[in-house]
């Protein structure tokens, strides 16, 4: 016996089935469109260790790259050790950019386990000579290509000629991954390098006529490249670059004496570290505190606001001209 369902029931079922088909089709279409419109779809995924590399890479890659900073905003660079999740992010990237063995000695170890055929690793210190660590003097003005951690200063991005070379190295890496957009990357790199050269000219002009030619830096000796480039003498409170080191009472007394002996009205402190040493020296001498940013990393607020390496370096120039009591050059009548 065949039981026939009422015609109205069949119509209802057909309508339901048709409705489900339409709904599924709409969902698939929407998902596909969302994927097509995703801001990261088709972009080169780049992971960088430090802020300068992050800023260089996003200036070169622009809308064709998704650039991420491995170092969390606000974290001191020399204290950073990658977690398993960080290592997974590196393995999943198209490009991984680091500063060099002297700055990130942990990189060589984690890269031994890389089995990602798509990952391109870029050592941005390639072709750059490292200077000896410590305050600028005749003894450490000579460069060195070695990467012995602790013996040489890894803060290469604070010399703007080095920054130009780093941009070239990063650009080559991007082109190797995406040769179809070579002209795009080269154009962006050239524009950024022109900005770096203009920044260098501003430094040379504004630091050419100063009453003082030395600074006291109540931080780690991480600004040596910047000081050497513009022939500024400096004394740093901390030996080496470890965040755990502390200056001895004798070293503090010597710095207080330097400030008083040279009539320095300003001293400098380091970014992302509590400036307790600068406060002590300031309290003993009456010197005003100014920030001199090594640009290893930035705060969460700076990250969210989209601050740039060039802006940080311009802020440094402003504080240097104030602290060294520089006067604008006057043109001849």
Domain-by-domain residue ranges, the chain? 44-142+149-204, 207-323
Q: pLDDT above 70 covers what percent of the chain? A: 80
Looking at residue 244, the DSSP 8-state letter turns out to be T
Question: Does the predicted model carry a pTM greater than 0.85?
Answer: no
Nearest-CA neighbor of 169 among 128, 122, 130, 225? 122
Q: Which CATH number fits domain 44-142+149-204: 3.10.105.10, 3.40.50.1980, 3.60.150.10, 3.20.20.210?
A: 3.40.50.1980
Residue 244 has a pLDDT of 63
| Mean per-residue pLDDT over the chain, rounded | 85
Q: What is the pLDDT of residues 73-103, one digit of tens each?
A: 999 888 788 999 999 999 999 999 999 999 9
Residue 25 predicted with pLDDT over 70: no
**How does DSSP assign 121-151, residue by residue?**
EEETTTT-PEEESSS--GGG-SEE----BTT
Q: Which 8-state DSSP code applies to residue 178?
A: -
CA–CA dist 186, 127 (Å, integer):
19
Task: Please tell me the distance from the alpha carbon of residue 112 to that of residue 90, in angstroms, as a whole number.
Answer: 12
Specify the CATH class of 207-323 in words. Answer: alpha beta
The confidence score (pLDDT) of residue 5 equals 46
pLDDT digits (tens, 9 = 90+) for 154-171: 999 999 999 999 999 999
Looking at residues 309-322, what average pLDDT do you find?
Answer: 98
Q: pLDDT tier at 40 (50, 70, 90 boundaries)?
A: low
Name all contacts of 143-149 with Cβ < 8 Å and 24+ positions apart: 147/100, 147/101, 147/102, 148/102, 149/101, 149/102, 149/105
As a whole number, mean pLDDT of residues 284-295 equals: 98
Cβ neighbours of residue 229 under 8 Å, at least 6 residues apart? 158, 159, 160, 161, 203
Res 140 pLDDT > 80: no
Cα distances (Å, whole numbers) of residue 235 to 42, 102, 244, 252: 48, 22, 19, 11
The more confident residue out of 214 and 332 is 214
* pLDDT tens per residue, range 218-265: 999 999 999 999 999 999 998 777 666 788 899 899 999 999 999 999
The pLDDT, as a whole number, for residue 91 is 92
Exposed/middle/buried for 188, CB within 10 Å: 0-12, 13-18, 19+? buried
Specify burial of residue 131 (Cβ count, 10 A radius: 0-12, 13-18, 19+). Answer: buried
């Amino acid at each position: 016996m065949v039981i026939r369902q009422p015609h109205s029931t069949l119509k209802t079922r057909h309508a339901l089935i048709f409705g489900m088909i339409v709904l599924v089709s709409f969902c698939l279409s929407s998902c596909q469109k969302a994927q097509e419109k995703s801001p990261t779809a088709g972009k080169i995924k780049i992971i960088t260790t430090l802020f300068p590399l992050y800023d260089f890479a996003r200036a070169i890659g622009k809308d064709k790259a998704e650039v991420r900073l491995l170092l969390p905003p606000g974290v001191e660079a020399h204290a950073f050790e990658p977690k398993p999740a960080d290592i997974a992010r590196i393995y999943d990237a198209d490009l991984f950019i680091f500063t060099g063995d002297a700055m990130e000695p942990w990189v060589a170890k984690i890269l031994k386990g890389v089995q990602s055929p798509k990952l391109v690793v870029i050592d941005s210190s390639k072709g750059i000579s490292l200077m000896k660590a410590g305050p600028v003097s005749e003894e450490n003005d000579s460069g060195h290509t070695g990467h012995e951690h602790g013996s040489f200063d890894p803060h290469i991005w604070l010399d703007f000629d080095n920054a130009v070379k780093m941009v070239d190295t990063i650009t080559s890496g991007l082109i190797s991954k995406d040769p179809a957009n070579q002209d795009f990357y080269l154009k962006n790199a050239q524009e950024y390098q022109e900005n770096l050269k203009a920044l260098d000219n501003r430094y040379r002009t504004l630091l050419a006529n100063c009453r003082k030619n030395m600074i006291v830096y109540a931080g780690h000796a991480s600004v040596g490249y910047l000081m050497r480039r513009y022939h500024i003498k400096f004394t740093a409170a901390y030996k080496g670059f470890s965040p755990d080191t502390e200056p001895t009472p004798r070293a503090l007394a010597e710095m207080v004496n330097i400030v008083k002996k040279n009539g320095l009205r300003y001293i400098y402190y380091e970014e992302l570290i509590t400036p307790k040493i600068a406060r002590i020296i300031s309290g003993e001498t009456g010197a005003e505190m100014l920030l001199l940013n090594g640009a290893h990393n930035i705060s969460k607020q700076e990250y969210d606001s989209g601050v740039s390496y060039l802006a940080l370096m311009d802020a440094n120039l402003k504080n240097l001209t104030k602290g060294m009591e520089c006067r604008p050059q006057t043109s001849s009548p």
